[in-house]
Amino acid sequence: MATVRGHDEGWRVMGRRTVGRRAPSRYGRALGALALGAALCATAAPTGRASAASPVTESGTPKPYAYAEDDTTVEGAANTTNAARLEPGRTYRSSIGEGGKLYYRLALDARSDAYVSATAVPRPGTTVSYADGVKVSVQDDNSRRCSSSAAAHFGASESPRPIAAWASREIGPTRYSCQTAGTYYVVVERVDSAGSSASASLSPGDWDLELAYVSEPALKKAGSTKAPEAWNSASPEALQGDARTRAGGAGFATAAALEKGVWKDGIRPGQTLFYKVPVDWGQQIYAGAELGSSTGGDGFLGTALVVSLYNPVRGFVDDVGCGYDGSQRAAVLDPLPPVAYENRYALNDRTSSMRFAGSYYLAVHLAAQVADKFGDGPFGLTLRVRVEGAAQAGPAYAGRADPRDVFDAAAGAPAEASGGTTAGAGDRAVGSGSGTDPHMKAVAAGGLGTGTALLLVLAVWTAVVRRRARRWAAAGDTSAPASSAAPPALPWDPEAPRGM
């Protein structure tokens, strides 16, 4: 049997092409380092991004709020003269101090409706009272309010959590103010038990804010200005069946997508979990949450679990709470009307807020005081979500909303509803809202990145070998390896033999 003694003594043994063992050249060492570095970077990079969506820290304590990754930091002004301009379709991060009143600026046309929401996020260690909250209004340059604006309060739970208020400038035949193009101002106020931003609150310290600005185009043709009066207000039967696991997000931007069904999660005292449910034109949403029984502790808390519903522009729709004594308790939202463009003309705020198709957000909060009586948890949480009615054609808009898909129910659908992976029992879509495990997303992304990097390295190696072979041939080097002129063809190589 022939033996390979060196690269200059031949490369073929018994008819097979064999690679001799040589000390790696500087090209080989460089390429090896490149491959290793690229593989490590491609594998490691996605993991941090996926874990950032988790609603709890590594130690198991709740994160207070997850802001959108593309939030722009903006400073609210103490007067209109220095107000920073907000752009439609964008979200912003700001903060407001005790007794604060801040101004932001809008440049509006005479056709589109504008909606601005402010989510107030008290910082850790904050103490709040029943009436503490945040209020938003849109005003013209003569201080006229463009719409009625109600403050969002922490309510009976007196537990600090993210709460959102909203305001609008609307164009239409039933509106009398703010109908012209020009400069308008968003006013965000921190209110207390007196309903004023001028006196001190029981919750000192700054609160963080997340602002969202949505623009809705006008209709191509004006329609009815009367809200539908007849709709099914009866509560349907509660959904039954085995619950699927879905981990809620820690903010609007990371809300986990749900569809019709029974879902389960775990929640800790002081934590707020966010979920989103796609609701199309003509459909009704029914939702409720059940807090599971405790394994220890005793006592009673008047408002322990709070379920809040927000519309696609983060406008408040309704909320409901329930007490807790260690046994299972449920909080179920009252029936709401089907989504209809004309709902905006209703006098009732609950009905008026059901004016858009898109993702409706469920914010589920467990009061911090639960820990004092029943421990740190987590406690079992069961969500029952039902969307009824056939999807109908939406209004004929004359332009495009900003953000573009904000009124598109399909854009907020879970992965299994839009052709993706089905989320079965035990799946945990932390923050992303899809049925896919974020860690598996990281592994998949890393695998794709590593494969791409290795293909790049192999391509460089092939080019180097061929260039060296041509150089040897031009110099008449007879000691060059016979196989150097034709290195092994790779499957993706255009010169590789086919049909094998």
Contact 310, 214 (CB under 8 A): no
128 contact partners, CB below 8 Å, separation of at least 6 = 122, 154, 158, 159, 160, 202, 203
- What is the predicted pLDDT for the residue at 192? 82
CA distance 169 to 139: 8
Per residue in 20-68, pLDDT tens? 333 444 444 444 443 444 443 333 333 333 333 455 666 566 767 999 9
Residue 216 in 3-state DSSP? strand
Q: Which residue has the tokens 């879905």?
A: 246
221 Cα distance to chain centroid: 34
Give the start-end residues of each E strand in 204-336. Answer: 207-216, 244-245, 256-257, 261-267, 272-279, 284-291, 301-310, 316-324, 329-332
Per residue in 296-307, pLDDT tens? 899 999 999 999
pLDDT (mean) for 429-433:
34
- What is the predicted pLDDT for the residue at 56? 60
Contact 92, 73 (CB under 8 A): yes
Per residue in 105-136, pLDDT tens? 999 999 999 999 999 999 988 899 999 999 99
414 Cα distance to chain centroid: 12
356 contact partners, CB below 8 Å, separation of at least 6 = 216, 311, 312, 313, 339, 406, 407
Residue 152 in 3-state DSSP? strand
Axis crossing angle, helix 26-51 with helix 438-475, rounded to the nearest 10:
160
DSSP per-residue string spanning 399-434? S--BSTTTT-GGGG--GGGTTS----TT---TTT-S
Please state, as a whole number, how many other Cβ atoms lie within 10 Å of the Cβ of residue 241.
8
Per residue in 347-368, pLDDT tens? 999 999 999 999 999 999 999 9
Is residue 455 scored above 60 in pLDDT?
Answer: no
How many CA atoms lie within 13 Å of 282's alpha carbon, on the beta-carbon side?
7
Q: Among 399, 388, 82, 95, which Cα is nearest to 235's? A: 388
CA distance 439 to 418: 21
Q: Among 285, 288, 301, 287, which Cα is nearest to 331's? A: 288
Confidence of residue 176 (pLDDT cuts 50, 70, 90): confident
Please state, as a whole number, how many other Cβ atoms lie within 10 Å of the Cβ of residue 338.
19
Burial class (CB in 10 A: 0-12, 13-18, 19+), 354: buried
Contact 284, 351 (CB under 8 A): no
Contact 416, 423 (CB under 8 A): yes
Is residue 341 scored above 90 in pLDDT?
Answer: yes
Best mean pLDDT range from 90-99, 405-414, 435-444, 445-454: 90-99
Mean pLDDT value across the chain: 79
Is the pTM higher than 0.85?
A: no
Is residue 185 scored above 60 in pLDDT?
Answer: yes
- What is the predicted pLDDT for the residue at 12? 33
pLDDT (mean) for 462-474:
50
Helix (DSSP H) and strand (DSSP E) numbers for the chain: 4, 22
At residue 274, φ and ψ (nearest 5 deg) are -115, 135
**Comparing 164-168, 211-215, 409-413, 478-482, which segment has the lowest mean pLDDT?**
478-482
pLDDT (mean) for 429-455:
42
The H or E element that residue 49 is part of is helix 26-51
Per residue in 284-296, pLDDT tens? 999 999 999 999 8
- What is the predicted pLDDT for the residue at 102? 98
For the CA atoms of the chain, what is the radius of gyration?
30
Q: Among 148, 152, 82, which Cα is nearest to 121's? A: 152
Contact 135, 116 (CB under 8 A): no
Looking only at the bridges linking them, the beta strands covering 72-73 and 91-96 are parallel
Contact 151, 167 (CB under 8 A): no
Contact 245, 380 (CB under 8 A): no
Confidence of residue 193 (pLDDT cuts 50, 70, 90): low
Per residue in 384-399, pLDDT tens? 999 999 999 999 999 9
The two three-digit tokens of residue 367, written as one number: 């009061």
Confidence of residue 174 (pLDDT cuts 50, 70, 90): confident
Residue 451 in 3-state DSSP? helix
- What is the predicted pLDDT for the residue at 46? 37
- What is the predicted pLDDT for the residue at 201? 53
- What is the predicted pLDDT for the residue at 64? 76
Per residue in 413-427, pLDDT tens? 887 644 433 333 333
Q: Among 71, 99, 100, 96, which Cα is nearest to 86's? A: 71
- What is the predicted pLDDT for the residue at 159? 96
pLDDT (mean) for 481-487:
42
Confidence of residue 409 (pLDDT cuts 50, 70, 90): very high
Contact 244, 421 (CB under 8 A): no
